[in-house]
Homo-oligomer: A and B are copies of this chain.
Amino acid sequence: MNEKINIGIIGGSGYTGLELVKILKKHKYSNINFLTSRTYKNKSIAEVFPSILDDGKNSLVFKGEASKSDYGNIDLLFLCLPPHSSMEHIKNNIHNKNLKIIDIGSDFRINDPASYKLWYGTDHTIPELLKDFVYGLPEINRELIKKSTYVANPGCYPTSILLGLAPLLESGQKPDNISIDSKSGVSGAGRKLKEPYLFGSMDNNFYAYSPEGHRHIGEMEQEIKKISGLDYKIDFTPHLLPVSRGIFSSIYCKVAEGQPEDFKEKIVRDYSDFYKNSIFVKIFADGIPQIKDVVGTNRCLIGINYDKRTSTLKIFSVIDNLLKGAAGQAVQNMNLMFGLEESEGLESNGLYS
């Protein structure tokens, strides 16, 4: 029987941090050694989040900051921090190069410092570390993750989109054009106190944002190149949905005309083969997955349709942005890094249906 993994969590009170705590509290081999939150310093999680099943007696208490000895007591550090903060945190606090780290933030997803600057607008402050981080998409980089010390957890949009594209690109298909229209629940924006995120602003509302270049494009084109060897410029438009959780990505690929009669069936087979050992991914040969099918789960459901009239392959990829798009995938990465069953702690069957 495995020993417990001693874990530290930096930034444990946002939506992602909370989901991470919820999963780890049920995980057989996890021991949360400390978690930090400036907002809730010295409060217990039972007090702050009544939804967590906890008798309140030995409840975890948020620290304002981790101490030097805290870092010495753990096997794994999760970072749940806003852009530009993970690199500062590592620079200032992490002196043991062997401490395993999973960064759920966006600082280490881009490998090339110049590309980082292009998409994030500033210089990276520890660019020499970029190459040491493995891109933590288990269904694609499983073996690399198993051997890694540092993992950069993918963005929520890229997770849904790369899982939706990888089997196609791997199979040698070279679509003429890839156009992606993604829709995300409001939790994607975190707990920000801004008027657009008020209930009165989002209830019964919907709209596009960042249509002329969202940050996640850099990360997606980098990984597409690794998979296909090709330099795609993808056209990506995110939208905001009046739901709490979930991402639905509609991926439109123009393929050559004159495909064989069983083109769609072939694609479905390629996808099923590609994911045959990936329990969290499920292919819909008929029908289209829905956001309610994934809320509360670590799954990615992929629907495949082919519009022959316009030679468009339409791939619909759905995840829970806080789980497969953030905390769930982070735990999946942890399981791989520590030789555990990939689904340990991630068996949730979801909320709806």
Which residues of A are interface residues toward B (Cβ below 8 A)?
15, 18, 22, 25-26, 49-53, 55-56, 177, 179, 181, 183, 185-187, 191, 193-195, 197-209, 211-213, 233-235, 237, 239, 241-246, 248, 250, 252, 254, 279-280, 282, 284, 288-297, 299, 301, 303, 305-310, 312, 314, 316, 318, 343, 347-353
Contact = CB atoms under 8 A, between A and B. Distances in A.
Copies in the complex: 4
14 contacts: A15-B200, A51-B295, A177-B254, A179-B252, A179-B312, A193-B193, A197-B199, A199-B203, A199-B244, A206-B246, A207-B290, A235-B312, A237-B314, A241-B242
A53 B198 contact: no
By Cβ-Cβ distance, the 4 closest A-B pairs, closest first, are A51-B350, A22-B349, A181-B181, A207-B290
A177 B55 CA distance: 33
| Residue in A235, A246, A279, A306 whose Cβ sees the most chain B Cβ within 10 Å | A235
A39 B320 CA distance: 28
B211 A235 contact: no
A25 B193 contact: no
Contacts of A291: 204-207
A31 to B, nearest CB: 16
